[in-house]
Structure 1
Amino acid sequence: MTPPVFSHGSLRLYLLKLLAETPRHGYEIIQALTDRFGGTYSPSAGTIYPRLAKLEEEGLVTKSSDGRKTVYSITDAGRAELAEREDELGRVESEVTDSVRRLAHEMRTDVTTAMRSLKADLASAARDARLSATRVPPVSTTPPDDRSTSRLALHEAELLLNEFRHNARTALRTHIASGRSFTTAQLAEVRTELDRAATALRDLL
């Protein structure tokens, strides 16, 4: 079982730390946490807002309206608790650092697996395209119609490409939906593999 990003009570303390730095609205808090984790973890609104509401009930934070946004600020009581738990806050910072390292390692492993799967799908699509291009047509006493044969082959090739597109799109969306990041470096690698497959396909024609 994957350990939690924050141990029990640590996120509550970390929220006070963020608000002690500057008042923030909900999205800014989520973004600050996302930045602190280098994009490897982004808390949901359902994780953050209930804890903010609890801190408000305890008198540790207060909220005010800034147009359509609700801005949260730490109170004197919140600063006092933060000061009392300064040593514990240092431990929380260490937990965050350890979590960033763990999540980054898990992400690298998952991306490596996804890229291997994508490369396998590309190789399979190229192989199927080669087989389709070299497939011997059935013997017929009727002279072959080149246009009809080409249309059938084109239709089959389009089915293969559509299937690959669907599988690749599903893999990428599942990767993002699971909360993992997709960096520009990974995008560049995907583009390189797709260009390589496109070149191989052109060489077959």
Structure 2
Amino acid sequence: MSPVFSHGDLRLYLLSLLDEAPRHGYDIMQALADRTGGTYTPSAGTIYPRLSKLEDDGLVTKTVDGRKTVYEITDAGRAEVASRSGDLEGIQAGLADSVRLIADEVRGSVREAMKSLRADLASARDQQQDPPAPARADDPRFAGREQLHRADVAINAFRARVRSDLRLFTAGGGVIEADVVDRLTAALDEAGREVTRALQR
């Protein structure tokens, strides 16, 4: 989950970054991404207007260094950072919590992937040691696999057809209305429930 800066928090955090050292715009964006473990990657359209506002407020200055514009905090900016040190600590704690949550999610995903991989490897090993007898055409399992294949083909064909229709429509300048997606979602949910009911009979 990406950390969300509350109103004014990003402004203060930008000031705190500039309080550490003068930076150019890309460096600021990179620092934000690094400090948040990649959970927040702001665009130039987010950062530069805020830097411009900080400059208008007399909290930062900018100088052109070759092709780069370097931003530097002013004494007034440092005074604001110092006066809001408690707020800044709260922002940093929130970002640290977000990074920890992301790390926990990644570790959980890796554990699940490893568990699944071990199960697949064990299954493959068992099949090599004791290969199953070839299925006969009159074996119900054979017929079941055939129907599973048919279902896969039908689902994939439906998905490809609908995606193609949607992409062609939007490519031609059309706007997909929310109720169209709502009806599609409802129909798919109902189809899924019907399959579940049929399998449970």
Q: What's the TM-score, normalizing by structure 1?
A: 0.51
2:88 match: 93
Mapped pair 1:136 → 2:135: no
Q: Identity over aligned residues, as a percent?
A: 45
Provide the rounded CA distance (Å) in 2 between the counterparts of 1:139 and 1:96.
62
2:120 match: 125
Per-residue deviation, residues 140-194 of structure 1 (Å, max 9, x unmatched): 9xxxxxxxxxxxxxxxxxxxxxxxxxxxxxxxxxxxxxxxxxxxxxxxxxxxxxx
Deviation at 1:122, TM superposition (A): 0.5
Per-residue deviation, residues 8-41 of structure 1 (Å, max 9, x unmatched): 212212322322333211122234344545x364
Deviation at 1:57, TM superposition (A): 3.6
CA 1:136–1:17: 2 relative to 1, 3 Å: closer
CA 1:100–1:110: 2 relative to 1, 3 Å: same
Secondary structure, aligned partner of 1:121 = helix
Provide the rounded CA distance (Å) in 2 between the counterparts of 1:115 and 1:103.
18
2:49 match: 50
Q: 2:79 aligns with which of 58, 78, 83?
A: 83
Instruction: After TM superposition, list the pairs within 5 Å mapping 1:12-91 onto structure 2.
Output: 12-37=11-36, 39=37, 41-45=39-43, 46-75=45-74, 79-84=75-80, 86-88=82-84, 90-91=85-86
Aligned residue identity for 2:67: R
Contact 2:3/2:98 (8 A) holds in 1: no
User: Which structure 1 residue ranges, 5 or more long, are not aligned?
Assistant: 141-205
Q: How many residues align?
A: 134
Secondary structure, aligned partner of 2:61 = strand
Q: What's the TM-score, normalizing by structure 2?
A: 0.52
CA 1:114–1:3: 2 relative to 1, 3 Å: closer
Deviation at 1:106, TM superposition (A): 0.9
1:113 match: 108
Per-residue deviation, residues 48-82 of structure 1 (Å, max 9, x unmatched): 2231132234343333322222211234xxx2254
CA 1:117–1:47: 2 relative to 1, 3 Å: farther
> What do you get for the CA RMSD once the two structures are aligned?
3.2
Aligned residue identity for 2:118: A
Contact 1:30/1:42 (8 A) holds in 2: no
Aligned residue identity for 1:117: E
CA 1:132–1:69: 2 relative to 1, 3 Å: farther
Provide the rounded CA distance (Å) in 2 between the counterparts of 1:82 and 1:96.
17
1:11 match: 10
Provide the rounded CA distance (Å) in 2 between the counterparts of 1:98 and 1:139.
60
1:184 match: none
Contact 1:61/1:74 (8 A) holds in 2: yes
User: Which structure 2 residue ranges, 5 or more long, are not aligned?
Assistant: 137-201
